[in-house]
Amino acid sequence: MTTDFLIVGAGYAGSVCARVLADAGKTVHLIDKRPHIGGNAYDERDAHGVLIHPYGPHIFHTNAKKVIEFLSRFTTWRFYEHRVLAQVGEQLLPIPINRTTINQLYGLSLSEDEVQGYLETVREPRDPLQTSEDVVLNSVGRDLCDKFFRGYTRKQWGLDLSQLSAGVAARIPTRSNDDDRYFADTYQFMPADGYTAMFERMLDHPGITVRTGVDFKDVRGDFPGSHILYTGPIDAYFDHCYGPLPYRSLRFDHQHLPDTEHYQPVGTVNYPNDHDYTRITEFKHLTGEQHPGTSIVREFPQAEGDPYYPVPRPENEALFKRYAALAEAAQGVTFVGRLAQYRYYNMDQIVAAALKTAQDLLDGSPAAAA
Ligand SMILES: Cc1cc2nc3c(=O)[nH]c(=O)nc-3n(C[C@H](O)[C@H](O)[C@H](O)COP(=O)(O)OP(=O)(O)OC[C@H]3O[C@@H](n4cnc5c(N)ncnc54)[C@H](O)[C@@H]3O)c2cc1C
């Protein structure tokens, strides 16, 4: 088949690249082995007509103006600031930890300054910050660590906090004010008609051919002369020649509750200490939809299954680096996306990376031509 680019994966990485390349006059053949576009951000209506995220809740947030500007070509937005509560004992408390969390948990009435002073008295200074346990103890001390983070981490990763790289916990802020938003980014919106509708508009271009239900391994040799843009797992591209890169997976247990306007007060409730699931998300909070019933999802972390979260441990990073060296030496193929880069990236980070990759390819930069 003749096409300028074969793109593997119709998530953000593949779809954004496809659109930028097609806008520049290139022909693009985009495949995905799943039966739909959108990658993990794909959304659909469940049997009861409620818009849900089959691969787990996706909330859009970014500080990058160019990312929101690019996506705004394909969607309008609904303002939405995500809020998360954690069930600790009988209480539902804001997470990230803020002034309300500390005051309600301990029955205190500290001011903002006093919260900072309080954290100073309970934190356990650590230097260097090597593990996630170091990061959390250094910031909030042992009791808050054990109540909010240790159990959640064990469920999420199957590892103790002390076995995880510092970077995982470094993503979680602590606030001394009452700001209870989960994210602090400048732009916090949900696509007004959902993610799939946004992807459909992005890929609606005469230069783009989309085929779903097609695995790269079955068509690998069918595109001689086309440049490959690969957004699948990097170890799979190289036939796992150094062994598989470890991932943590999830099982999603979706449920519809008829005649229930709302199941819970906010979009997500975390369960750090109880149950086998880590959290419950109620989609109507995210989408703002009206419906007499409501749909929720419970997330059960597990070792086997689709690759969701790269396991951030030094030996896995070392293994990835060996694959990255192969990728750098490979001719006629460019790697981009969370699976190709073996990193947890938010959607906006992948959009930014894809915009750059596509532009580099158009500019013929040596890095992109690798
Ligand atoms: C549970 C969960 C919740 C998340 N929530 C958020 C959130 O709230 N906010 C946020 O910003 N980010 C969130 N993310 C991150 C977000 O999902 C990613 O940033 C985004 O999906 C990355 O896009 P991508 O194109 O790199 O990967 P993907 O979306 O995974 O797309 C890659 C595509 O490649 C396809 N593919 C792989 N191998 C092949 C093959 N051999 N042949 C053909 N196709 C192939 C896959 O089927 C897939 O569709 C979340 C991630 C998870 C796991």
Nearest ligand 1 atom to alpha carbon 337: 26
Q: Using one digit for the tens of pLDDT, what is the confidence trace for 296-323? A: 999 999 999 999 999 888 899 999 999 9
CB-ligand 1 contact for 230 (6 Å cutoff): no
Q: Is 167 exposed, middle or buried (0-12, 13-18, 19+ CB in 10 A)?
A: middle
Give residue 314's pLDDT: 87
Q: Is the pLDDT of residue 84 over 60?
A: yes
Of the chain, the percentage scoring pLDDT greater than 70 comes to: 98
CB-ligand 1 contact for 338 (6 Å cutoff): yes
Q: Is the pLDDT of residue 370 over 80?
A: no
The lowest-confidence range among 14-18, 76-80, 155-159, 213-217 is 155-159
Residues 6+ apart with CB under 8 A from 115: 99, 102, 176
Nearest-CA residue for ligand 1 atom 14 is 346
Q: Using one digit for the tens of pLDDT, what is the confidence trace for 145-172? A: 999 999 999 999 999 999 988 988 876 7
CB-CB contact of 80 with 189 (8 Å): yes
Q: Using one digit for the tens of pLDDT, what is the confidence trace for 260-299? A: 999 999 999 999 999 999 999 999 999 999 999 999 999 9
Write down the residue that tokens 């008829």 correspond to.
258
Query: Running DSSP on this structure, what letter comes out for residue 181?
Result: B
Give residue 298's pLDDT: 98
Nearest-CA residue for ligand 1 atom 46 is 9
Q: Using one digit for the tens of pLDDT, what is the confidence trace for 229-249? A: 999 999 999 999 999 999 999
Give residue 365's pLDDT: 63
CB-ligand 1 contact for 156 (6 Å cutoff): no
CB-ligand 1 contact for 232 (6 Å cutoff): yes
pTM summary value: 0.96
Query: What is the mean pLDDT of the segment spanning 2-14?
Result: 97
Nearest-CA residue for ligand 1 atom 48 is 39
Q: Is the pLDDT of residue 368 over 80?
A: no
Query: What is the mean pLDDT of the segment spanning 86-97?
Result: 97
Report strand pairing: 5-8 vs 227-230.
parallel
CB-ligand 1 contact for 34 (6 Å cutoff): yes
CB-ligand 1 contact for 267 (6 Å cutoff): no
SS3 category, 316: helix
CB-CB contact of 260 with 37 (8 Å): no
Nearest ligand 1 atom to alpha carbon 58: 8
Q: Is the pLDDT of residue 173 over 90?
A: no
* Per-residue b or e along 217-235, where b marks 16 or more CB atoms closer than 10 Å to that residue's CB: eeeeeebeebbbbbbbbbb
